[in-house]
Amino acid sequence: MILRVATCTLLLAVWFCPALSAQVQCDSQTIRGTWAYNYQGSVILPDVPQPVPIVMLGVASIDAQGRMTAPGTAIMGGQVLDFDMVNVTLDVKPDCTLTAKWGLKAKGAPAPFPGQGIDRCVIIPQGNEFQCTTIQGVLGKPIYIGIYKRIHGVPTAVAW
């Protein structure tokens, strides 16, 4: 009986241990690299009765410390805005969730728009994609999602 219990215990340990060690762990190295990104959805602007459609497209570079530069272009209600994400902080959790805080500066403007944007993201296994929803925007109340896809595993200078 003792031998049977010991054998069952050993078999369970062999069965479950690989599953435990295979759990994905993420950190700032997971998202290091150069990325293409796009956001799609709508924005609720003050004094506008209907949500305004918005799309954004850009390229981002993220270093090993989680610093990001991300120029892009937004089209909101038919108006084009070239911008840079500024003052970006990325907080990557071991469970592969990520919170991004950022500012937005129009190209040629002396200062960023007031306020801070906040995204909540999930890093997809293998780390070559992460998906975000913006929970706080700087151009209005956001109703959009974003997808980042890795172009290269090394951060490179990006310009738009």
Domain ranges in the chain are 28-152
Distance between CA atoms of residues 160 and 54, nearest Å: 19
In this predicted structure, what is the pLDDT of residue 22?
A: 59
Distance between CA atoms of residues 143 and 137, nearest Å: 9
Instruction: Judge residue 154's burial from the number of C-beta atoms within 10 Å of its C-beta, 0-12 exposed, 13-18 middle, 19 or more buried.
Output: exposed
In this predicted structure, what is the pLDDT of residue 8?
A: 43
In this predicted structure, what is the pLDDT of residue 143?
A: 94
In this predicted structure, what is the pLDDT of residue 127?
A: 87
pLDDT < 70 stretches in the chain: 1-22
Q: What is the CATH number of domain 28-152?
A: 2.40.128
